[in-house]
Structure 1
Amino acid sequence: MARAPRILIVSADIGEGHDAPARVLAAGIRAERPDAEVEIIDGLDAMGSLVARVVRDGTEIVFGRLAFLYDLEYWLVVHFPPARWLAGTLMYLVGGRGLLHAIRAFKPDIVVSTYPGTTDVIGRFRLDGYLSVPTCSAITDLAALRYWAHPGVDLHLITHPESTEEVRDIAPASRIEWVQGLTSPGCLDPFDKREARRSFGLPEEGSVVLVSGGGWAVGDLIGSAEIALQVEDSVVVCMCGRNDRVRAEIDARFAGEPRVRTVGFTDRMCDLLAAGDVLIHSTAGLTVLEALMRGTSPISYGWGMAHIRTNNREFARHGLADVAQTP
């Protein structure tokens, strides 16, 4: 009898865009192979407290108050190869030992990464001969894939077929597969819009506009809600993820306005998208794809910088989402 496969999934709690597909992937593997041993680890924690603090805390601060620095950092990485090399090499040298130790401790048959920062390090492990088992990158963005894809990674899973060319340019010898199974479960299931609305206490008639800033609720959610309220008889649902502060700010701003609702993190994203007519989203990623799967029209607005700007351009080019010309 064949030995049960051991699959290690490396993620990072930067919003929900990496942890959520990691959980979905793990559940899918267990459903297909109940005997499989699947473990999810946080790659930043494995790299050590210094890397975790700098990346996790630094990202949250930059996203919130110093967004221009994020834009500058992205420009340097994309347009100035020495900066890209330095960023990747520092992560590799400072955090690589801890991550490699965590991988070897699990003794996996394959390593899957859902976070581009760890994908880059794992790809380097393969090229440098430190990792002998196959590696896989689960890519959930449409574009700006410089760290999502790596020539040392054996298999790249993409959620948009339009990503193939960019991944091939970065990792020409790798295997590339367009897949389902990284989005929230049930997004392709049949649904009744009225029933979906009733389940969230939303009116069955009129327009429902969903506003999302991802797991960290970044971007101009309040501005999006104000614009959406201009649509007659519309109801606005602001999805605030795990950011209680932003949710409280929105509740305070629209106190007494019955047409604005807020929700926190939900594992019923597909049901909520089924209830909506339009999704205004600030951070690109899987939520846009899930909206398309549910027949909800996505609009990208509110945080058009760095890799989001690149994804927005590709959304528009491929006709996948409307993109507001303001932030």
Structure 2
Amino acid sequence: MTPRILILTAGFGEGHNAAARALAAAFERCDPPARVAVFDAFAAASPRLNAASRQLYLSLINGAPRVWSRFYAWIDDSEFIQRRLWLFHREIGVLAERLRRDPPAAICCTYPLYAFFLQAIRARGVRLPPVYNVVTDSISIHSLWWRAACDGWFLPNADSADVLLRAGLPPTLVHVSGFPVDAAFRDAGRQLAPPDLAHFARPRVLHLVHSGTRHAEATDHALMKETDWDLTCAVGRDRALRARLTRLAARRPFPTRVLGWTDQIPRLLMTHHAVISKAGGATTQEAIAALCPMIVSQIVPGQEEGNYELLRRYGVGALATSPAAVLGSLRAAFADRGRVWAQWRAALWPLARPDAADDIARHVLGHFPAVSTLQPLSPDAPEPSPVPRLARAAA
């Protein structure tokens, strides 16, 4: 019998979708392959509201980060979501119908609200398969990730697992798997590497420009003035910025590429010495998997703080929030034939888990067939007590 796996994601931050895609591919690579569906209940329930909510989210994190930080912390400290699930009645409804129409053998959630939605569906007396949370944050993990019951949690690193263990989750349910990344990091990681700086190779610098990245164009202008580095700028779907940088790159007599949207990020990360980027969950974890030290140019308060904290704890890369600071960090890393850069790269080895998606898939399928340890609730049963929130200071 071919197991059916349902992966639940949402478009509020690219990390959730990136993890979902990597997981889906891993389940399909299994022998025998699982039948996988990736589902976004927010997009399915209210496409226009979802699009507007995503735009508001981007506007807040990019244009009003302090407002976003206060909102993020308030939700973290309160039980607003748990007590007002009726606000998500459309999303819960389409998810319940999806489960009725095509019952899965297991559910993997890459967005934290789904565990609450599933808890509400269980409260209607519905028996569910095992439910797993695949946590896409590091260290500064929002309490929504653990306040609803699950059959297991997959964490990107041991430092993040410690947060959930201190919150009171059973150790048997907390698994340090790594962050699910594209299989290219596993398959090509042994063949692809940047040239050896110790043998006087030219450093290769990659700049990933995300929506709302501050000082992006000024940083690229400064980078293109450097004569000792090869440069690649990937600007996504910003056509106007790509056109301006392409004109500027044409006047630079050194190897320079300006890319738009590309599906070659894994190869770029594995063949460059350093990447400049905001501390997004997917980008940070992909840089780790590629052993590519990261210069963090921007941190969104809340979820991205822990991503940089992970790098800081392990002595990898630098925080540089201005063009001058970015250049200074790179010069220091590449000096003396890349002595500091080599230390950064070596420090990434303990964190890199390019097999994470496959490990998660094997774990989930290794328990198939199975039933959830979370039993259905009668409609008049009290809501289960939430897992206690760990004080943020303890993290």
TM-score range, shorter chain: 0.7 to 0.9
Pick aligned residue for 1:103 from 95, 99, 105: 99
Q: Does 1:136 align with 2:161?
A: no
CA gap 1:81/1:223 in 2 versus in 1, 3 angstroms: farther
Deviation of the 1:81 alpha carbon: 1.5
Match of residue 265 from structure 1: 261
Secondary structure, aligned partner of 1:311: helix
Tell me, in whole angstroms, the C-alpha distance in 1 between the residues paired with 2:249 and 2:86: 45
Q: Which has the higher contact order (CA 8 A, sep 6+)?
A: 2
Which letter maps to 1:225?
D
8 Å contact from structure 2 (residues 61, 300) kept in 1: no
Deviations 1:283-310 (A, max 9, x none): 3313223223333211211244332234
Unaligned runs of 5+ in 1: 196-203
1:179 corresponds to 2:177: yes
1:225 aligns with 2:223: no
* Residue aligned with 2:185, SS: coil
Q: 2:78 aligns with which of 59, 81, 93?
A: 81
List alignment gaps of at least 5 residues for structure 2: 326-395
Note if 1:52 corresponds to 2:56: no
Give the aligned partner of residue 68 of structure 2. Answer: 70
Distance change (3 Å), C-alpha of 1:85 and 1:180: closer
Q: 1:181 to 1:63 in 2, by over 3 A?
A: closer
Q: Is the 8 A contact 2:298 2:321 kept in 1?
A: no
Q: Which residue of 2 is the match for residue 199 of structure 1?
A: none
Counterpart residue number, 2:202: 206
Distance 1:295-1:132 versus aligned 2 partners, 3 A rule: closer
| Alpha-carbon shift at residue 194 of structure 1 (Å) | 6.0
The separation in 2 between residues aligned to 1:307 and 1:170, in whole angstroms, is: 17
Give yes or no for contact 2:185–2:289 (8 Å, CA) kept in 1.
yes
Match of 1:284 in 2: 280
Q: CA RMSD of the aligned region, Å?
A: 3.3
- 1:15-67 alpha-carbon deviations (Å, 9 max, x no partner): 53222222221111111144421111123213333651343232233344444
* Matched length: 314
Q: Which amino acid aligns with 1:235?
A: D
1:320–1:172 distance in 2 versus 1, CA, 3 Å: farther
Find the counterpart in structure 1 of residue 271 from structure 2.
Answer: 275
Match of 2:28 in 1: 30
Query: Any conservation in 2 of the 1:120–1:149 contact (CA below 8 Å)?
Result: no
Contact 1:273–1:296 (Cα < 8 Å) also in 2 = yes
Which residue does 1:166 correspond to in 2? 163
How far does residue 231 in structure 1 lie from its aligned partner after superposition? 4.5
Query: Aligned letter for 2:154?
Result: L
TM-score of the pair, normalised by structure 1? 0.80
Q: What fraction of aligned residue pairs are identical, expressed as a percent?
A: 20
CA contact (8 A) 1:141 1:286 kept: no
CA–CA distance in 2 between the matches of 1:91 and 1:170? 27
The alignment partner of 1:187 has SS state of helix
Return the letter of the residue paired with 1:322.
A
1:73-120 deviation line (CA, Å, top 9, x unaligned)? 223223x4155656x636544532222222332211111112234344
Per-residue Cα deviation, 1:222-263 (whole angstroms, up to 9, x for no partner): 244345446542233222334545545654676744655322
Q: Using the alignment, how far apart are the partners of 2:321 and 2:64 within structure 1?
A: 22
User: How far apart are the structure 2 equivalents of 1:46 and 1:131?
Assistant: 23
Q: What secondary structure, in the 3-state scheme, does the structure 2 residue paired with 1:301 have? A: strand
In structure 2, how many angstroms separate the alpha carbons of the residues matched to 1:131 and 1:241? Answer: 43
TM-score by length of 2: 0.68
